[in-house]
Amino acid sequence: MKILAIGGAGYIGSHVVRTLIDKGHNVTVYDSLYSGLKENIQPESRLIEGDILDYVHLRDTLAQGYDAVFHFAALKAANESMTKVEKYSVNNITGTINMLNAMCETNVNRLVFSSTAAVYGEPQYVPIDEKHPLNPENYYGFTKLEIERIVHWYDRLKGIKVAILRYFNAAGYDIFGRLKGLERNPQNLLPIIMEVAAGMRPKLAIYGSDWDTPDGTCIRDYVHVNDLADGHVRALDYITEKNESLLVNLGSESGISVKAMVEKARDITGEKIPADISPRRFGDPARVIASSGKASEILGWKAKYSDVSTLISTTWNVYKDLRK
């Protein structure tokens, strides 16, 4: 297929683009490079620099003839979203409406959408399945949930078939070492651990050591980015073959505590990785673990590379040459 990957120069988007190319698809990346990187553009793809808010440019790009759109172009810093509501509203919600309207105008009727487990909010039970109540606790999660609702209407009224993929904690780097572009201003635990290991920051803050978990630190479900990419390709195949929309979680179905992640990173990197205990952060749940049974049943998908050793070692392969 001929695919337009909006935001395809970013961390997750670039890994999905690489996998799509591996599967024989013709991929064009449409990216403003606000957070995406030119070095993530694969030699078999091409880059069109453009903003999702530039409707005319986006429409004219889609008019070149595409079979499907992959949408990764969202701002995603949960804490920032709570203070910069206008910025997140315009980029995430207005930008997505621009994209959907451009798809309608150019008769592109397949969409794979990068959503998030943040739509669930505080877990009422674990593992979290797709039937869990939807109550996001940050504005970023709210924007993703609103987009899910909007695309459902475009499916119903305009016939755009959409795969909504709710990620848990994306982590790791390409298992074959083909992608090495670092995230700008990373917010997640593993790249921050790696920055400490590489001497790029002095120490790590562990937010709370008295949670109701075996070692007192928060537990999260980390899913390797290659596993996520595989899920995206399977989702495209599903909506194409079935001509129906799809909503699934993509998670490893296992939890890793902050302390366990840090200790394993010390073992793999051979670095001390200093860490201090800090006060709990407001809104942090003790435990978040996915149920990915629906993805397994419908897509035949299962996380293959999401064990803690692979998550850390593939990430360290990118960071170790930056040691100071």
d(CA 280, CA 205): 10
State the pLDDT at residue 185: 79
Tell me the two tokens of residue 205.
């803050």
Beta-strand runs (E) in the chain: 2-6, 26-31, 46-49, 68-71, 110-116, 161-167, 169-171, 204-207, 219-220, 222-224, 246-250, 256-257, 275-278
Span 180-228, pLDDT tens digits: 998 877 888 999 999 999 999 999 999 999 999 999 999 999 999 999 9
Which residues are known catalytic residues? 140
d(CA 275, CA 205): 6
DSSP string for residues in 173-189: --TTS---PPPSS--SH
d(CA 204, CA 198): 12
State the pLDDT at residue 227: 98
pTM, full prediction: 0.96
AA identity, residue 223: V
State the pLDDT at residue 186: 84
Residues belonging to the chain: 324
d(CA 197, CA 319): 8
Tens digit of each residue's pLDDT, the chain (324 residues): 999 999 999 999 999 999 999 999 999 999 999 999 999 999 999 999 999 999 999 999 999 999 999 999 999 988 899 999 999 999 999 999 999 999 999 999 999 999 999 999 999 999 999 999 999 999 999 999 999 999 999 999 999 999 999 999 999 999 999 999 988 778 889 999 999 999 999 999 999 999 999 999 999 999 999 999 999 999 999 999 999 999 999 999 999 999 999 999 999 999 999 999 999 987 788 999 999 999 999 999 999 999 999 999 999 999 998 886
* Domains by residue range for the chain, with CATH: 2-171+223-250 (3.40.50.720), 189-221+253-297+305-322 (3.90.25.10)
Tell me the two tokens of residue 144.
């993703």
